[in-house]
Amino acid sequence: MSALIEARDLTKKYGAHVALDRANFSVEAGRIVGLIGPNGAGKTTALRAILGLTAYEGQLQVLGHEPFRERTALMHDACFIADVAVLPAWLRVDQAIDFVAGVHPRFRRDRAVSLLAKADITGERRMRELSKGMKTQVHLALAMAIDAKLLVLDEPTLGLDILARRAFYDALVNDYMDETRTILITTHQVEEVENLLTDVLFIDKGRIVLDSSLDDIATRYAAVAVASDNLDAARAEKPFHERPMLGKVVLYYEQPNLEKLAALGEVHAMSVADLFVAKLSGGAE
Amino acid sequence: MNIAIWLIRREFWENRAIWMIPVVIGGLMILIALFGRVDLMSISPVPVQAVGGGFLLAVGATFFAVMSIYSTWYLLDCLYADRKDRSVLFWKSMPISDAATVLSKLATALIVIPAVYFAAADLTTLIMAFIVSVRWSSSIDGALWHADLWLQLQALWLYMIVTTALWYLPIAAYLLVVSAWAKRAVMLWSLLPPLALVLAERWFFDSHVILGTIGERLLGYPAQAFRDDPGCCSWVTAAVGNDTITAPTGIWGFFNVAGFFSSAETWIGAAVGAALIVCAIQLRTRRTEI
């Protein structure tokens, strides 16, 4: 089985509100996947379903488990940081390490200790005494010391300053990620994770609107900045989105005819952030 | 098993009051023994069992009363607090089942906390007996250093831990259900449903079966676990100042072991408790956040 996560017609309703509407997606092993969507698109609901924290309709397999019914077994192989700063205020850093070491068979204490030493966080401190950034570092150190096949991060850097955010992602990429790991991450700040993702899932109104690798995005889409005199010719090439910028107009194309477009203006690769905006707002801005 | 130990240890970390409150009570009692102005001479002619037993029971009862209040609060808070501060998201990222979590809270309230209070009460009575013996010399010694009395006290505590755990299981389980379910104001939510049921019954049927059942569960424990029969043991009477006190010479005769464990009420309550525990586990699985 190569797909680590396989969702088919995944649906979650809260009363009349449909948070997930027959979402289909899969995540392969060894990838870093960004689940990206506007507020209320169903990102967190999707993660909660994947982690077994909520009941759902449809089919969902994560590491061969049905998450809601088999959360305990799933948590041997998967790990998550749902939201920032959820470590309880009364917990001491050394207690947190002792506890996870006591209950988690895949936890490697030496690793957690060295990660915390690197971050200059000592064992006797309580979470309530730590800044939000430090708390996140503690949680990340605990998660990274678990030999999990899947790590799920839900808005892991929300509310952190730029230094803490950078430290977080550096640690993740340099000290954690290897070919045996898979990371699923949701965030608002697309630009910040763009460089570390291998795949993206765009979600909107509970549905998956794009499921693609970053390599595919690079070859499949292009952005062309054209001056106003070439605009009509450029529009004839059927852009799916356009956006005025500094006296020019940037047009976005799927499977573009690059030779033709190069004659009309400057051709760029499309960033994930641009693609996200284009896909989710549709048409011209 | 290993996980159970860590879950219990976690409860001690989070709820330091589990051991701090009994330490404070014990400390206060020891202070009273050290500096209190009790005229023990006046009661010195009282028979050994009455004074010693009364003293030991009073200490134990104080601990027990405080413990009942604390345990109630603990049960209401334990599944609510981590949802409120969202740390439930951390605990649920560990390979620990919701059943293990809920049962660890139940065991803490019904077994671990009573054991801590038992130990604290024992230690306190030992230290107090020592202080009193030194302060008032030999007149009272015989009453306090009485092997049979101590043995009776240990037996009483152990008997009460086992029987209260069983008798109050439905109450404890109900409090866990509220704790796992309520979005706010756990205290209020724990009172409202029974109150509403009692009032509804009174309104529609003009009866009070529910009130009677709840009252019997809350207050009926002594009648179930202990014999209320003056003939069950021998008594001594003695004058203390102008008063006369009557005390049993031993408490063995009061234990209603066979009666308690063969009572239908005991086991119906335990069955209701078990059903409510299943309910609390289900709620814990489904209700992650507030």
Query: In which band, very low, low, confident or very high, does the pLDDT at B138 lie, cut at 50, 70 and 90?
Result: low
Query: Cα angle at B69 between B55 and B67, to 5 degrees?
Result: 45
Is A191's Cβ below 8 Å from some Cβ in B? no
Q: Are B256 and B224 in contact (CB under 8 A)?
A: yes
Which residues are paired to B244 by β-bridges? B239
CA A211, chain centre distance (Å): 12
- Could you report the predicted ipTM of this complex, rounded to two decimals? 0.88
Minimal CA separation from A212 to chain B, in Å: 28
* Residue partners of B231: CB distance under 8 A and separation at least 6: none
Single residue among A205, A238, A264 that ends a domain in this structure: A205
| Residues A43 and A157 occupy one common structural domain | yes
What average pLDDT does range A148-165 have in this prediction?
86
**Closest residue on chain A to B13 (Cα):** A91
Q: Which of residues 10-39 of B touch A (CB under 8 A)?
A: 10, 13-14
**Inter-chain CB proximity A71 and B92 less than 8 Å:** yes
Q: How far apart are CA A21 and CA B44, in angstroms?
A: 82
**Edge-to-edge strands, sheet with A221-226:** A265-269, A221-226, A248-254, A241-245, A283-284
- Final residue in a domain of this structure, among A173, A205, A237: A205
The whole-model pTM stands at: 0.88
Supply the pLDDT for residue B249: 67
pLDDT tens, position by position, B281-290: 999 998 877 6
Residue A210, in any domain of the structure: no
**pLDDT tops 60 at residue A1:** no
Q: What is the mean pLDDT of residues B125-129?
A: 86
- When comparing pLDDT for A248 and B252, which is higher? A248
Is the pLDDT at A168 greater than 60? The verdict is: yes
Q: How far apart are CA A107 and CA B235, in angstroms?
A: 62
A chain contacts of residue B89, beta-carbon cutoff 8 Å: 53, 80, 82-83, 86
A235 and A195, same domain (yes or no): no
Q: Would an 8 Å CB–CB cutoff place A71 in contact with chain B?
A: yes
3-state percent breakdown (helix, strand, coil) of chain A, nearest 5: 35, 35, 30
Q: Given this model, what pLDDT does residue B139 score? A: 56
CB contact under 8 A, B14 and A90: yes
Residues of A with CB below 8 A from B86's CB?
Answer: 83, 86
pLDDT digits (tens, 9 = 90+) for B178-227: 999 999 889 999 999 999 998 998 899 988 888 888 888 888 888 888 88
Query: Would you say residue A255 lies in a domain?
Result: yes
Q: Does A139 reach chain B within 8 Å, measured CB to CB?
A: yes
Residues A28 and A106 in one domain: yes
Q: Which residues of A touch B287 (CB under 8 A)?
A: none
Residue A106 and residue A245 share a domain: no
Contact B5 A102 (CB under 8 A): yes
**Same structural domain, A152 and A263:** no
* Residues of B with Cβ-Cβ distance to A105 under 8 angstroms: 95
Q: How far away is chain B from the Cα of A222, in angstroms, using its nearest Cα?
A: 40
Place B76 in a pLDDT band, splitting at 50, 70 and 90.
very high
What is the number of helices (H) and of strands (E) in chain B?
15, 2
User: Rounded mean pLDDT of A182-191?
Assistant: 86
Q: Answer yes or no: do A83 and A167 share one domain.
A: yes
- Number of compact structural domains in chain B: 1
Closest approach of B271 to chain A, Cα-based (Å): 25
Q: Domain span at residue B21?
A: 2-286
Contact A25, A7 (CB under 8 A): yes
Dihedral over alpha carbons A53, A54, A58, A61 (to 10 degrees): 10
Residue A86 lies in a domain: yes
Res. B132: pLDDT tops 50: yes
> How large is the average pLDDT for residues B171-181?
95
Residues A18 and A20: their CA atoms lie apart, in Å, by 6
Name the domain boundary from A178, A205, A232.
Answer: A205
Residue A93 · residue A125 · CB < 8 Å: yes
Cβ contacts of A89 on chain B, cutoff 8 Å: 85
Q: Tell me whether residues A103 and B96 touch, CB distance under 8 A.
A: yes
A233 and A173 within one domain: no
The CA distance from B226 to A95, in Å, is 43
Q: Are residues A114 and A242 in the same domain?
A: no
Pick the residue from chain A with its C-alpha nearest to B7. Answer: A99
Assess if residue A214 is contained within a domain: no
**Domain membership of residue A188 as a residue range:** 3-205
The band of B48, judged by pLDDT with boundaries at 50, 70 and 90, is low
Mean predicted confidence (pLDDT) in B250-277: 89
Chain centroid to Cα A166, Å, comes to 15
pLDDT at A264: 85
Q: Is residue A102 included in any domain, yes or no?
A: yes
Where b means 16+ CB within 10 Å and e means fewer, A240-256 reads ebbbeeeebbbbbbeeb
pLDDT digits (tens, 9 = 90+) for B143-157: 667 777 788 888 888
With an 8 Å Cβ cutoff, are B95 and A80 in contact? Answer: no
The total number of structural domains that make up chain A = 2
Q: Which of A72, A74, A87 to mutate to test the interface with B (most CBs of B within 10 A)?
A: A72
